[in-house]
Structure 1
Amino acid sequence: MTAEAMVTSPLTGSEADDSRPLRIALLTYKGNPFCGGQGVYVRHLARELVKLGHSVEVIGAQPYPVLDTDALTGAGATLTELPSLDLYRSPDPFRTPKRDEYRDWIDAVEVATMWTGGFPEPLTFSLRARRHLAARAGEFDVIHDNQTLGYGLLADLGAPLVTTIHHPITVDRKLDLAAAKDRRKRASVRRWYGFTRMQGRVARRLASVLTVSGSSKKEIAEHLGVRDERIHVVHIGADTDLWSPDASVAEVPGRIVTTSSADVPLKGLVHLVEALAKLRTEQPDAHLVVVGKRAEQGPVARAIETYGLQDAVRFVKGITDTELVDLVRSAQIACVPSLYEGFSLPAAEAMATGTPLVATTGGAIPEVTGPDGESCLAVPPGDAGALAAALGRLLGDPELRTRLGAAGRERVLSRFTWAKAAEGTVVHYRAAIERAAAAGGKAPRNRQTPTAATTTTR
């Protein structure tokens, strides 16, 4: 019997004995796996669901997901492109589309919302997805929404709906408001995050919500008002084949690596830069490599200039998975300085390579990293002095680095893998299907889903 079949149903308490392959539609309004946890989630969950024998069709908008195909069998999830107007693309974000780009009223809503300072993509993707799924009623056994939470998903989609909320975006809104320097900026932040009101209304009407940590479960209940019994924790994890130790990669003395967006206060990068300035007074070879985009303005840019760290902080982006893993392997320390995380994939991935970790206790990070001194060094969020002390302690103690690195790898292998995440997710798919059947719904099985293809739907 598979590990999936042995998981206990969260609703019935009975053994999940239905092992039929499922036809799964996985929705994602943003799917880029190189900039944000949602894209990583879709890529790895889809791959592991296929390995379990299920058919997975990812339906996504720009930036489109990157999906994996098994090198030996050619099996993999399929991708259906459901394009937006891509108003935030590089190198011309907040662009105004040309007249011939408009296709329908949803496009007009998308542009009008952007023009008035809002973020339209969760709403407009949900409306396009509703239309697309209505035309394909009966093709899927279950529909899995990856944190779109748009009004369009409250319609009859032709199959039971399961939604993942990584963490409520109201947390980001709160931190961005706190970082806003004046009334005008605060008004702009409130308008940008206007979609969170919609997401709360939608979330409260969902029968089944998955989330990635106990911390996120608590935040979803408190911020979005979702009833506790409707929220289920399924931990995600690292690709432990890719993220693994490799003794052939040379360790660079003084190197600290982090994954962060310089212009997102929630990620806490400014506090790590301040900690680096303190650290270099005692360990001048200490330097930081940031996987992410450099911000030319803002608190991080000002801190780098103020402390004269232009040669000690380097930003990298656009590197391959292999290059990223080798970069983390080469570091003496990986650091997660976030003020809050709903899970923290960068922490799990760094730990999987055996690189010792310094991390804050913000949000769900301690659930991933474990207790201070056992599998990481933990510090309070937003405390540059504590960060500097922990980084200095670890740089000066090779034995401690070795011990924490090994313990971190073992913790990830035992708790946080994508295979376990897929198995746990399928349990909730089957529970949703069972619940719909009991309520009189049907899950028709009259059409086959292709095993490998890419289609475009406009």
Structure 2
Amino acid sequence: MPSEPAIASAPHLNIVPASVTPLPDAKPRRALKVCLLGYRSAPYGGGQGIYLKYLSKALVEAGHQVDVISGQPYPHLDPRVNLIKMPGMNLFETGLTSIRPHHLTSLTNIYEWMGKLTGAFSEPYCFGRRVLKYLKKHGRHYDIIHDNQCLSYGMLDIQKQGFPLVTTIHHPITSDLKIALSAAKSWTERLLIRRWHSFLIMQRKVARELHHVVTVSERSRMDIADAFDIQPAGISVVLNGIDTYEFRPLPNVIKNPNRVMAAVSSDQPLKGMRYLLEAVAAVVPKYPDLELLLVGTPKEDGESGKLIRELGLAKHIRAVSGISTEDLVRYYNEASVVVVPSIYEGFGLPAGEAMACGTALISTDGGALPEVVGDAAIQVPIRNSKAIAEVLETLLASPAWRDELAAAGRKRIEELFCWTRAAQQMTDYYWQVIQRENG
């Protein structure tokens, strides 16, 4: 039986445990009108889109009215959640050739266009401008505005306008920057990385002035405090959830004994793809029928694509992208082992999803992953392809051990990381914020 993580009993955290009755001044008395914000929110684009999808669903199921304001690519939401589209230029998908003269009649569009021209990531800044304008005109009926890591100057203006504002910071993007710089192979590549991450200057300034910040793990809380120079006591923690109704063991699915799966953003150094590929290459001689299923397609000319060719792994790789949640759940169920090779995770949703689906998990000890997986997965050090290979080889040869890990993982997620619990904790936090703002 997996043990509970240390954070479950840590008395200094700003968490309302599900087993404890909320304080009277935090107890909700009516349904809330909640507005969630996401500058780009497609669930296949990363953890922020998944967070928005499932938090909004859980809040609706808790009885609240929820609107989501999002830029492209838009989120996949429960039908009961109202999506308010806030389209931007979306130049990272459409490219500069999509620009037309009428696009440049807007100052915000010009900012976004100039950012793309100069290699910057200006979407969060521009989304903040657009949302501020919308909320000033249409948003006074909301009880709470909840920003999903936009951290733009517009959020400070929303706060100054008197809107009760909560901001989730999943983890400091400074971690991504450091890892990307350490993996860069030339000064020009480092220059481009620094330019793209220039939005961090804005995020640091904004984070320090926000009144109500929440994050998803104790590790993220400490890292955010350090990166943004905020007192840890000023950051609350509401643990992420996993939808255990969607992500579940499928009784009619037979596991493929030769399939290993990883849900990674293939060419982001943060996700540790290099170490996974090196580990698979080390295991293939003993398991020549091994298949590595990647959720996320490596670019042919990217680092992962080149490494796959160098290691002679092409025939062992199957990549899928843009898949439905139903397909993702089936893939988790079909795999014998899931590997999360990340160097850093603010939470680690793929780890939680794999455990919820009842599949044996190998996880690094990067970031908050130890908080999520506990002793219900095999943990290895970050940046250690040899350790991944050794554990993977042992697990492939041990069906009984895989079954034991699968059962422990499912139980851990059910007990500690369900969205119902997360929504209740977030609701309690909303009420604390509302009452503080109302004096």
TM bucket, shorter chain: over 0.9
1:363 and 2:367 are equivalent in the alignment: yes
What secondary structure, in the 3-state scheme, does the structure 1 residue paired with 2:154 have?
A: helix
Matching of residues 161-172 of structure 1 within 5 Å: 161-172=165-176
Matching of residues 258-273 of structure 1 within 5 Å: 258-273=262-277
Runs of 4+ in 1 over 3 A off after TM superposition: 3-9, 92-96
Per the alignment, residue 182 of structure 1 pairs with 186
Q: Distance in 1 between matches of 2:18 and 2:223?
A: 30
Match of 1:285 among 272, 289, 299: 289
Q: Distance in 2 between matches of 1:5 and 1:261?
A: 33
Per the alignment, residue 298 of structure 2 pairs with 294
**Counterpart contact for 1:244–1:353, Cα < 8 Å:** yes
Deviation string 1:247-291 (CA, Å, 9 cap, x unpaired) is 311211210001011110101111101000001122222220000
Q: Distance in 2 between matches of 1:7 and 1:28?
A: 31
Match of 2:212 among 188, 204, 208: 208
Q: CA deviation at 1:7?
A: 5.7
User: In structure 2, what residue type is equivalent to 1:24?
Assistant: V
Q: Distance in 1 between matches of 2:71 and 2:46?
A: 15
What secondary structure, in the 3-state scheme, does the structure 2 residue paired with 1:332 have?
A: strand
Deviation string 1:211-238 (CA, Å, 9 cap, x unpaired) is 1101100110011112212101111121
Q: Distance in 1 between matches of 2:188 and 2:284?
A: 37
Segments of structure 2 that go 5 or more residues without pairing to the other structure are 1-15
Per the alignment, residue 7 of structure 2 pairs with none
Q: CA deviation at 1:8?
A: 6.0
Q: Distance in 2 between matches of 1:271 and 1:157?
A: 48
1:427 and 2:437 are equivalent in the alignment: no
1:418 and 2:419 are equivalent in the alignment: yes
User: In structure 2, what residue type is equivalent to 1:130?
Assistant: L
Q: Structure 2 vs 1, CA of residues 96 and 184 (structure 1 numbering), >3 Å: closer, same or farther?
A: farther
Deviation string 1:107-154 (CA, Å, 9 cap, x unpaired) is 111111111110001100001111111112521111000000000111
1:126 and 2:136 are equivalent in the alignment: no
1:248 and 2:268 are equivalent in the alignment: no
Q: Distance in 1 between matches of 2:21 and 2:130?
A: 35
**Counterpart contact for 1:5–1:15, Cα < 8 Å:** no
Q: CA deviation at 1:318?
A: 2.3
**Counterpart contact for 2:242–2:417, Cα < 8 Å:** yes
What secondary structure, in the 3-state scheme, does the structure 2 residue paired with 1:27 have?
A: strand
Q: Distance in 1 between matches of 2:408 and 2:105?
A: 54
Per the alignment, residue 173 of structure 1 pairs with 177
Match of 1:29 among 18, 31, 39: 39
Q: Distance in 2 between matches of 1:364 and 1:5?
A: 21
**Counterpart contact for 1:32–1:63, Cα < 8 Å:** yes
Matching of residues 22-171 of structure 1 within 5 Å: 22-69=32-79, 76-89=80-93, 92-95=94-97, 97-155=99-157, 156-171=160-175
Q: CA deviation at 1:317?
A: 1.1
Q: Structure 2 vs 1, CA of residues 334 and 137 (structure 1 numbering), >3 Å: closer, same or farther?
A: closer
**Counterpart contact for 2:18–2:425, Cα < 8 Å:** no
Per the alignment, residue 4 of structure 2 pairs with none
**Counterpart contact for 2:28–2:428, Cα < 8 Å:** no
Segments of structure 1 that go 5 or more residues without pairing to the other structure are 70-75, 439-458
What secondary structure, in the 3-state scheme, does the structure 2 residue paired with 1:311 have?
A: helix
User: In structure 2, what residue type is equivalent to 1:23?
Assistant: K
Q: Which has the higher helix share?
A: 2
Q: Distance in 1 between matches of 2:96 and 2:429?
A: 38
Q: CA RMSD in A?
A: 1.6
Q: Structure 2 vs 1, CA of residues 6 and 160 (structure 1 numbering), >3 Å: closer, same or farther?
A: farther
1:383 and 2:378 are equivalent in the alignment: no
User: In structure 1, what residue type is equivalent to 2:423?
Assistant: A
Deviation string 1:161-206 (CA, Å, 9 cap, x unpaired) is 0000010111111111111111111111111000011001100111
What secondary structure, in the 3-state scheme, does the structure 1 residue paired with 2:45 have?
A: coil
Q: CA deviation at 1:306?
A: 1.2
What secondary structure, in the 3-state scheme, does the structure 2 residue paired with 1:420 have?
A: helix
**Counterpart contact for 2:70–2:84, Cα < 8 Å:** yes
1:232 and 2:236 are equivalent in the alignment: yes
Deviation string 1:322-361 (CA, Å, 9 cap, x unpaired) is 1111111011001100011000110001000110000100
What secondary structure, in the 3-state scheme, does the structure 1 residue paired with 2:140 have?
A: coil
User: In structure 2, what residue type is equivalent to 1:113?
Assistant: G
Q: Distance in 1 between matches of 2:108 and 2:267?
A: 30
Q: CA deviation at 1:102?
A: 2.8
Q: CA deviation at 1:246?
A: 1.7
Q: Give the TM-score normalised by structure 2.
A: 0.93
Identity between Structure 1 and Structure 2 (%): 41
Per the alignment, residue 451 of structure 1 pairs with none
Per the alignment, residue 447 of structure 1 pairs with none
Q: Distance in 1 between matches of 2:70 and 2:161?
A: 16
Per the alignment, residue 315 of structure 1 pairs with 319
What secondary structure, in the 3-state scheme, does the structure 1 residue paired with 2:138 have?
A: coil
**Counterpart contact for 1:204–1:227, Cα < 8 Å:** no
Q: Distance in 2 between matches of 1:356 and 1:4?
A: 28
Q: CA deviation at 1:15?
A: 5.5
Q: CA deviation at 1:430?
A: 0.8
Match of 1:192 among 175, 196, 214: 196
Q: CA deviation at 1:103?
A: 4.1
Q: Structure 2 vs 1, CA of residues 368 and 261 (structure 1 numbering), >3 Å: closer, same or farther?
A: same
Q: Distance in 2 between matches of 1:94 and 1:250?
A: 46
Aligned length, in residue pairs: 422
Q: Distance in 1 between matches of 2:313 and 2:230?
A: 45
Deviates more, 1:160-169 or 1:295-304: 295-304
**Counterpart contact for 1:5–1:18, Cα < 8 Å:** no
Per the alignment, residue 449 of structure 1 pairs with none
Q: CA deviation at 1:61?
A: 0.4
Q: Structure 2 vs 1, CA of residues 96 and 186 (structure 1 numbering), >3 Å: closer, same or farther?
A: farther
**Counterpart contact for 1:351–1:357, Cα < 8 Å:** yes
Q: Structure 2 vs 1, CA of residues 190 and 95 (structure 1 numbering), >3 Å: closer, same or farther?
A: farther
Q: Distance in 2 between matches of 1:400 and 1:418?
A: 28
User: In structure 2, what residue type is equivalent to 1:126?
Assistant: G
